[in-house]
């Protein structure tokens, strides 16, 4: 291996002291491949096994904590103990390849699928529809539903521990329920759960507390708890970077092992104001002030781009589409085969990449999502 790439393989520590064998992380990506009964499929196990060989951590596709939280067709479930055997298979498959296994947990809120949830009724912080065609207006959650959902995050964490996962990532990004409570667009409440920014933080902070309580109750002091967030929203009113920096300051004081920012491009500036081009991730890093490790992500294709990203001071780097296109991305770096790393997908690659069928069809039929050569 070229010595300049050794940093891609150096071990790192999470807050709390857990060692990760290298700073490269498999990003959470939806597979659309779960069984109709909510169990993980054989196709998903093969997909993860192929991609867990050299990365330090694998963060799974997100799973839903209550029946009303399902956000994707073909999404595997974790809202009941009946799913423990399925979850155990997933954790075991990842860990056998040497990576830490992190289960991402969420509730889709107003982004849930009406045809796949009880009564077809979506719920959210407030009765405000998403700003996109074809969506429906959710019902505002009652206090009892809020407390039930918070409790469900803790229960799902308990299952993750029993299933053998090394940690959970609380999915507070990408417009789903936790973000909906933090957002002034989707949260118009005037009670304990909404209003000013401090009240809009209460639901995510309550989820973090409940997850940590479950960890403590199970006696798993080395269990990893991460939190993912999106720094801005396009909606008006919507989450601004100033909101997020205030929130990150609070998150940095919580009992979390890492933070994970959701970005399309690692170096992107503001999505709300195109004139602000300074990288958003560096502003977040500066606000954290080293209190908790940060995972960065977004359009990192080559080993040299990965080195440049790590040079910014970000502790961990997630690869998403890159590991779908090239499961052996890190192996080829290690073996001095960088020129052989795939940076696009050919339709003839279907049978050699172990990509689940529905995910493959989505990739091929979604212009601009992946670079496709034929």
pLDDT of 135 higher than 90: no
Taking residues 148-177, report their average pLDDT: 98
Taking residues 335-359, report their average pLDDT: 91
C-alpha Rg value of the chain to the nearest Å: 20
176 is catalytic: yes
Residue tagged active-site, from 47, 64, 176, 227: 176
Q: What is the pLDDT of residues 281-291, one digit of tens each?
A: 999 999 999 99
pLDDT of 2 higher than 90: no
| Distances in whole angstroms, Cα of residue 215 to Cα of each of 149, 168, 314 | 17, 10, 27
Please state, for a pLDDT cut of 70, what percent of the chain lies above it: 100
| Distances in whole angstroms, Cα of residue 202 to Cα of each of 142, 185, 218, 345 | 15, 16, 24, 43
pLDDT value at residue 373: 86
- Complete domains list, the chain, with CATH: 3-364 (3.20.20.70)
Taking residues 233-241, report their average pLDDT: 96
Task: Indicate the pLDDT class of residue 17, thresholds 50, 70 and 90.
Answer: confident
Q: What is the pLDDT of residues 25-72, one digit of tens each?
A: 999 999 999 999 999 999 999 999 999 999 999 999 999 999 999 999
Task: Indicate the pLDDT class of residue 203, thresholds 50, 70 and 90.
Answer: very high
pLDDT value at residue 350: 80
Task: Indicate the pLDDT class of residue 310, thresholds 50, 70 and 90.
Answer: very high
pLDDT of 336 higher than 90: yes
Task: Indicate the pLDDT class of residue 367, thresholds 50, 70 and 90.
Answer: confident
Taking residues 351-357, report their average pLDDT: 92
Q: Name the average pLDDT for the chain.
A: 96
pLDDT value at residue 284: 98
Closest CA to 109 of 51, 187, 40: 187
pLDDT value at residue 1: 78
Whole-prediction pTM: 0.98
Count Cβ neighbours within 10 Å for each residue of 274-298 and write b for 16 or more, e otherwise.
Answer: eeeeebbbebbbebbeebbbbbbbb
Taking residues 107-122, report their average pLDDT: 96
Judge contact between 51 and 58, C-beta under 8 A.
yes
């Amino acid at each position: 291996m070229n010595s300049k790439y050794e940093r891609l393989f150096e071990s790192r520590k999470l807050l709390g002291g857990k060692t990760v064998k290298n700073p490269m992380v498999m990003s959470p990506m939806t597979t659309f491949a779960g069984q109709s009964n909510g169990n993980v499929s054989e196709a998903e196990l093969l997909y993860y096994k192929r991609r867990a060989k050299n990365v330090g951590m694998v963060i799974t596709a997100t799973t839903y904590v209550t029946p009303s939280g399902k956000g994707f067709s073909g999404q595997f479930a974790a809202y009941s103990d009946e799913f423990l055997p399925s979850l155990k298979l997933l954790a075991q498959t990842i860990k056998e390849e040497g990576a830490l296994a992190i289960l991402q947990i969420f509730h889709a809120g107003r982004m849930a699928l009406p045809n796949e949830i009880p009564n077809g009724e979506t719920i959210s912080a407030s009765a405000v529809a998403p700003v996109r065609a074809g969506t429906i207006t959710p019902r505002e959650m009652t206090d009892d539903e809020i407390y039930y959902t918070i409790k469900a995050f803790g229960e799902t964490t308990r299952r993750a521990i029993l299933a053998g996962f090394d940690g959970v990532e609380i999915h507070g990004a990408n417009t789903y329920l936790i973000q909906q409570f933090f957002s002034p667009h989707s949260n118009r409440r005037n009670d304990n759960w909404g209003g000013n920014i401090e009240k809009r933080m209460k639901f995510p902070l309550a989820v973090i507390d409940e997850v940590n309580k479950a960890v403590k109750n199970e006696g798993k002091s080395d269990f990893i708890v991460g939190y993912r967030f999106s720094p801005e929203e396009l909606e008006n009113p919507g989450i601004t970077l100033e909101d997020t920096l205030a929130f990150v300051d609070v998150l940095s004081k919580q009992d979390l092992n890492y933070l994970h920012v959701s970005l399309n491009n690692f170096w992107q500036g503001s999505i709300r104001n195109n004139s602000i081009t300074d990288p958003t991730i560096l502003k977040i890093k500066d606000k954290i002030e080293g209190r908790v490790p940060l995972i960065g992500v977004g359009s990192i294709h080559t080993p040299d781009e990965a080195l440049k990203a790590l040079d910014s001071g970000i502790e961990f780097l997630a690869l998403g589409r890159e590991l779908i296109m090239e499961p052996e991305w890190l192996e080829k770096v290690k073996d001095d085969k960088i020129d052989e790393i795939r940076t696009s997908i050919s339709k003839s690659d279907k049978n050699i990449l172990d990509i689940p069928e529905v995910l493959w069809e989505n990739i091929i039929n979604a212009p601009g999502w992946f670079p496709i050569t034929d």
